[in-house]
């Protein structure tokens, strides 16, 4: 079905103080949407810069969300569920179960009961080592073998969704591949390699990359599908009719199916390429040093990811994606160098 979120419709964005969530809020603001409910743990002080300058109706602490919804009964036009525990080095599954599975089930049930369209974040981490490929085929979901508890939790929710007989009027689960871009400064170890590379270049003039521990990959030639966060939020905007491709009303999706979709670029690029683009964004020549990969992630490290994008493209998305060089150049020059937020 096609959905069109109007300017005065109330939109709930979870994870709104985080990386992708805060970029989503800015994207909505940029297109005239200010009737927003922002949900997150707003007690995390280092995230404050991500949300305090945004335009919204109300912020709601994550643990108060459902009691607030029950008390105030807002008329929601859309829920964009981006809140999650995304730390792939957190091995206590109970943490992921609570935040990534049960909380998401509660969001789904609310949207189903109140007939609210839902877009939620899944992850390419569900694909594990890629033994079954990277196709966003529903038949593959129960067979996937993620490499860490985070990936397991995201796949468990996807599996649960596909078993539901009652659903929101429209829903889409988006398997984000390697997202990078502004507003990720608070993520520390889990921030993108670009963010880390920029800091290393400023401090030492060189970048350290993980040495390959597999004979079929050269050092720095591990391949990932990197996607700029501005493309991620633009796809969500297109999918929900917030802004159509090319700002042409005719491009609003007329019949996009409720489904799980990959969201990458469909192109795998190396970490060497990524770091070289970061240097070039700073007008410097690349200097790369290779170091051993930490033992705690060596056995669960993805050496190759590439989204198959046919499902999203066949649904009508034709907005294109930034190339790796274009995205990094924008990120470095307009955000990292200037310390700007999006």
Q: So which residues are the catalytic ones?
A: 150, 187
Q: Measure the CA–CA gap between 149 and 145, rounded to whole angstroms.
A: 11
Residue 229 Cα distances to 181, 252, 313, angstroms: 5, 21, 18
Give me the residue label for tokens 């999706």: 253
Q: Measure the CA–CA gap between 129 and 126, rounded to whole angstroms.
A: 9
Give me the residue label for tokens 């935040």: 99
Q: What is the DSSP string of 249-275?
A: GGGS-SSPPSEEEEES-S--EEHHHHH
Residue 44 Cα distances to 63, 95, 186, 231, 295, angstroms: 14, 17, 10, 26, 29
| DSSP β-ladder status, 223-224 and 10-14 | unpaired
Residue 121 Cα distances to 22, 174, 318, angstroms: 14, 5, 21
Q: Measure the CA–CA gap between 83 and 80, rounded to whole angstroms.
A: 9
Contact 192, 86 (CB under 8 A): no
């Amino acid at each position: 079905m096609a959905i069109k979120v109007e300017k005065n419709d109330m939109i709930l964005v979870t994870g709104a103080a985080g990386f992708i969530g805060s970029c989503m809020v800015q994207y909505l603001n940029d297109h005239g949407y200010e009737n927003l409910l922002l949900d997150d743990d707003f007690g995390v002080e280092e995230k404050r810069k991500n949300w305090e300058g945004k335009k919204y109706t109300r912020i709601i602490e994550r643990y108060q969300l459902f009691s607030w919804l029950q008390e105030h009964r807002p008329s929601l036009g859309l829920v964009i569920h981006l809140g999650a525990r995304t730390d792939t080095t957190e091995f206590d599954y109970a943490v992921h179960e609570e935040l990534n599975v049960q909380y998401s089930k509660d969001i789904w049930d609310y949207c189903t009961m109140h007939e609210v369209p839902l877009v939620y974040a899944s992850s390419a981490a569900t694909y594990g080592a890629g033994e079954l490929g990277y196709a966003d085929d529903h038949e593959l979901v129960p067979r996937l073998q993620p490499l860490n508890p985070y990936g397991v939790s995201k796949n468990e929710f996807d599996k649960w969704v596909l078993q539901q007989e009652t659903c929101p009027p429209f829903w889409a689960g988006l398997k984000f591949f390697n997202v990078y871009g502004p507003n990720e400064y608070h993520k520390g170890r889990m921030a993108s390699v670009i963010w880390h590379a920029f800091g290393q270049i400023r401090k030492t003039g060189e970048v350290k990359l993980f040495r390959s521990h597999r004979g079929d990959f050269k050092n720095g030639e591990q391949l990932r599908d990197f996607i700029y966060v501005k493309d991620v939020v633009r796809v969500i905007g297109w999918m929900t009719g917030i802004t159509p491709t090319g700002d042409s009303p005719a491009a609003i999706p007329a019949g996009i199916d409720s489904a799980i979709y990959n969201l990458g670029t469909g192109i795998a690029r190396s970490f060497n390429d990524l770091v070289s683009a970061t240097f070039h964004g700073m007008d410097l020549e690349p200097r790369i040093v290779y170091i051993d990969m930490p033992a705690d992630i060596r056995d669960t490290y993805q050496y190759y990811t590439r989204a198959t994008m046919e499902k999203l493209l066949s649904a009508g998305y034709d907005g294109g994606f930034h190339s790796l060089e274009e995205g990094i150049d924008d990120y470095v020059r307009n955000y990292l160098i200037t310390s700007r937020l999006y």
